[in-house]
Structure 1
Amino acid sequence: MIQRSLMPHLQQRLKKGKAVILTGPRQVGKTTLLRAIQQQYEGKTIWLNCDEPDVRQQLTNATSTEIKALLGNADLVLIDEAQRVKNIGLTLKLLVDNLLERQVIVTGSSALELANEIQEPLTGRKFDFHLYPLSVEELVNYSGALEEKRLLERRLIYGQYPEVVLNQGEEDILLRNICDSYLYKDIFTYQDVRKAEVIQALLEALALQVGSEVSYQELAQLLKIDQATVVRYIDLLEKAFVVFRLRALNRNVRNEIAKIRKIYFYDNGIRNALIKNYQPLNLRADTGALWENFLVSERFKSLHYAQKQVNSFFWRTAQQQEIDYVEEENGQFKAYEFKWNPLQKAKFSRTFTENYPVLSTAVINSANYLEFVLR
């Protein structure tokens, strides 16, 4: 088993009198992680799979008496796919408030319904965690840094979903299955979005614009829908853990462009599956975009698993001065340029370095990237 970086963080939150909520896209290993916790737990556990209709029925609008009867003498309660239970937040509130000796861990493959259901009832009663596709750190710990460097091109092309990583030679079939069966299924289930072809076209357009500024207006014109619908669909795709947004830094300098954003995919393989392109890097025109998407998504994983809070941006001016990625922590800035080729150089704009308290600058390439993505 590939050890997940979240495991020690989850274990540290047990027996604190609060629910542990684990969200993430389908097929990233949430159930496997739950099984690992169950195996290591010293005490009686109960597993409630909410894909089962009778489990859903027993957890829906249950009283504290009914919950206690269902759990028996188990002191660790594992609830998988909890977003499928109506009013699950109220059920969890009763469990946490009335059965203080029980520890509950909840997974949800989509934040859409789950977030709506649990945020208010569980205010102050939960710890939130997010599980991503496999991180570079997890893969380095599994197979070693040398092996991961050898496999870097495959990671850029096929991504890091666990099933894809562990089944070399079947990557395109597995990625197609994830895209067709899981990727944005929850959007249609919970948000009454009926135009699958529009979502598909939007994702393809975003996949082709990775690393570039995204215009909602241009997307609306391309898809022949209104701009408000584009914004809503991107927000839903973000909540479904398909894409995420990076905003522009705009604070001190004249001519900085503020109202633009970049949109990245959580996984390179998903991005390439959407445009049906698995060509090797030497035959591609989008290597730079793949490299940027890979590094930004890996950095987000690393920060999350380290439980480190920073502000993340890119930076650009009207004069086309730009920096690929900027982090702000405690009022100081780190600036990064991304170049696939180790021989490529990059200059950092004096407009930026003279107007911001810059702690460091670095060019991240295929030779030194581990320093950037490992904790």
Structure 2
Amino acid sequence: MTDIDEYLPRHLTLELQEALATARVVNLVGPRQVGKTTLVRDLFKQGRFITLDDAAILAAMEADPEGQLTSLSEELSDAPIIIDEAQRSPKLALAIKKIVDRNRRKGQFVLTGSSNVFTTAEVADSLAGRMQTLKLWPLTSAEVNRVPASRLIDWAMQSAPKLPQISDPAHLGRKNYVDLILMGGYPEIRALPLRSRQRQYRDYIDAVVDRDVADVMPVRKPDALRFLIDQMAARTAQEINTSELAKLAKLKRETVDQYLDILMRLSLVTKLSAWMPGESKRDIKQPKFHFVDTGIASALRRLNDRSFDIGNSPEALGGLLESFVVGELQRALPMQDEDYRLYHWRSADRREIDILIDGGHRLALIEVKAATTVAADDFKHLKWFANDGPGKGRSTVGIVFYLGQEKLTMGEGNFALPLSSLWTAVDWR
């Protein structure tokens, strides 16, 4: 890892600081190797750091969790105890609950792990008001470029967004975007040469299956789970019919649903539910799944910068690009002024919106195009949805992200934006 990768600023730092000031326990979850340990060690210059990846420490914690934690708490007056890979000890959660019930001091514990240690309803309910959970995702493009978090969602949710409020985006070409897709967002891996990077990403998935999955749920058929991961990488940005996937994997549908839940809890895949307008009864209700990191998805599919050329698989770029945009938007959500939720939408007659952001008072409708030019036809579903479809009578904005370099107004509250607008400065106040 280079110094520039190791110390890239993470936008979640402020959220983490605020959580420590308001909650007794902060639970920082996210995929393995995205930088959780680096973030908490860099943020907390004091405190006691222990990792349950150490077999001896894990054994001691399992033998007497309350005693071990009480002893550590007494050594530290106002600094946190930081427990890495906290999900490895099933007894940890209840022990922490007992301690923070006796001591109401904020910021007593920081837990990090690849999955949420507080999984039982009993423990989660008892810690209500005592614990805050945050998720650290792979790096965003804004973090890689050392610029502030994207505020593009807040921009879109204005009553009348204007293009001059968006600074001129970086002039990137198709090859630059393909490189971003292939690199992914894992700090230690993304800067490696392509062949080494993709080998490490594949090894990473093997390590997750071998080590992390068991912390969430025992899996009787790890080979079938590994097959399912490959299938999800090939199907990123698609609606998933679990019955069809079960036949393909030779598993029961219930097992496929369990495996998908594991992959979501380990932050390997994310799900966009279908947006429902309430009065409509014809909308397709299947969720759309996205592979969280396009670098890993590309590695599992053995894709390189030539894979998207004419004569190979140029259509493969579309799904990966859409998943890339979903990732950028999802990771920017905590930094917006208001709470927004991401969905997708498709009608029975196959009108489709790639990403729908619901702000309550306003909807942002987003299409992603793997092309360097845009045309009026690219906005037909956005305009129909807003004028004649479920968005009729509601406040909407339409955005088409594309691989060109110009930000354009397309009329009726619709805009074409270069993909690099996702990490461009926005000033709407």
Under a length normalisation based on structure 2, what TM-score does the superposition of the two structures give?
A: 0.78
Structure 2 counterpart SS, 1:248: coil
- Cα distance, 1:193 vs. partner? 0.4
Is 2:32 the counterpart of 1:26? yes
The 5-angstrom pairing of residues 108-127 of structure 1 reads 108-111=113-116, 113-116=117-120, 118-127=123-132
Is 2:333 the counterpart of 1:303? yes
2:87 paired residue among 83, 87, 95: 83
- Cα distance, 1:183 vs. partner? 5.5
- Cα distance, 1:219 vs. partner? 0.9
CA 1:308–1:200: 2 relative to 1, 3 Å:
farther
Aligned to 2:41: 35
Is 2:227 the counterpart of 1:227? no
1:201 paired residue among 201, 224, 227: 227
Q: Contact conserved, 2:366 with 2:399, CA < 8 A, in 1? A: yes
Aligned to 2:55: 53
Structure 2: state its 5+ residue gaps: 1-6, 149-168, 406-417
- Cα distance, 1:156 vs. partner? 0.7
CA 1:195–1:332: 2 relative to 1, 3 Å:
same
The AA in structure 2 aligned to 1:352 is F
The 5-angstrom pairing of residues 132-281 of structure 1 reads 132-141=137-146, 146=170, 151-169=176-194, 170-182=196-208, 185-252=211-278, 254=280, 256-280=282-306, 281=308
Q: Contact conserved, 2:87 with 2:113, CA < 8 A, in 1? A: yes
Q: Contact conserved, 2:209 with 2:222, CA < 8 A, in 1? A: no
Cα distance in structure 1, aligned partners of 2:319 and 2:21:
44
Q: Contact conserved, 2:345 with 2:353, CA < 8 A, in 1? A: yes
The AA in structure 1 aligned to 2:115 is S
CA 1:64–1:253: 2 relative to 1, 3 Å:
closer
Cα distance in structure 1, aligned partners of 2:145 and 2:135:
20
Structure 2 counterpart SS, 1:13: helix
CA 1:276–1:196: 2 relative to 1, 3 Å:
farther
Count of aligned residue pairs for this structure pair: 370
Structure 1 counterpart SS, 2:230: helix
CA 1:307–1:57: 2 relative to 1, 3 Å:
farther
- Cα distance, 1:338 vs. partner? 0.6
Is 2:309 the counterpart of 1:294? no
- Cα distance, 1:305 vs. partner? 4.2
Structure 2 counterpart SS, 1:264: strand
CA 1:230–1:137: 2 relative to 1, 3 Å:
same
Aligned to 1:335: 365
Structure 2 counterpart SS, 1:326: strand
Q: Contact conserved, 2:23 with 2:129, CA < 8 A, in 1? A: no
CA 1:73–1:190: 2 relative to 1, 3 Å:
same
CA 1:252–1:45: 2 relative to 1, 3 Å:
closer
* Bigger Cα displacement from structure 2, 220-229 vs 67-76: 67-76
The AA in structure 1 aligned to 2:359 is E
- Cα distance, 1:52 vs. partner? 2.1
The AA in structure 2 aligned to 1:191 is M
Deviations along 1:178-200, one digit per CA (max 9) or x if unpaired, are 12212573223441102122112
Deviations along 1:82-128, one digit per CA (max 9) or x if unpaired, are 111232111211332224446321111223x5433852342211111
Cα distance in structure 1, aligned partners of 2:216 and 2:340:
31
- Cα distance, 1:133 vs. partner? 0.6
Cα distance in structure 1, aligned partners of 2:326 and 2:341:
13
CA 1:33–1:269: 2 relative to 1, 3 Å:
same
2:69 paired residue among 56, 67, 70: 67
Under a length normalisation based on structure 1, what TM-score does the superposition of the two structures give?
A: 0.89
Q: Work out the percentage of aligned pairs sharing the same amino acid.
A: 25
The AA in structure 2 aligned to 1:326 is L
The AA in structure 2 aligned to 1:155 is L
Q: Contact conserved, 1:139 with 1:148, CA < 8 A, in 2? A: no
Deviations along 1:317-347, one digit per CA (max 9) or x if unpaired, are 1211111111111232110111121313312
Structure 2 counterpart SS, 1:370: helix
Structure 2 counterpart SS, 1:221: helix
CA 1:61–1:251: 2 relative to 1, 3 Å:
farther
Aligned to 1:348: 380
Aligned to 1:284: 313
Deviations along 1:27-49, one digit per CA (max 9) or x if unpaired, are 1111111110123xxxx421121
Aligned to 1:363: 400
Q: Contact conserved, 1:324 with 1:338, CA < 8 A, in 2? A: yes
CA 1:316–1:103: 2 relative to 1, 3 Å:
same
Q: Larger RCO: Structure 1 or Structure 2 (Cα < 8 Å, ≥ 6 residues apart)?
A: 2
CA 1:79–1:86: 2 relative to 1, 3 Å:
same
Cα distance in structure 1, aligned partners of 2:298 and 2:292:
12
The AA in structure 2 aligned to 1:291 is L
The 5-angstrom pairing of residues 94-113 of structure 1 reads 94-101=98-105, 103-111=108-116, 113=117
Q: Contact conserved, 1:108 with 1:114, CA < 8 A, in 2? A: no
Q: CA RMSD in A?
A: 2.8
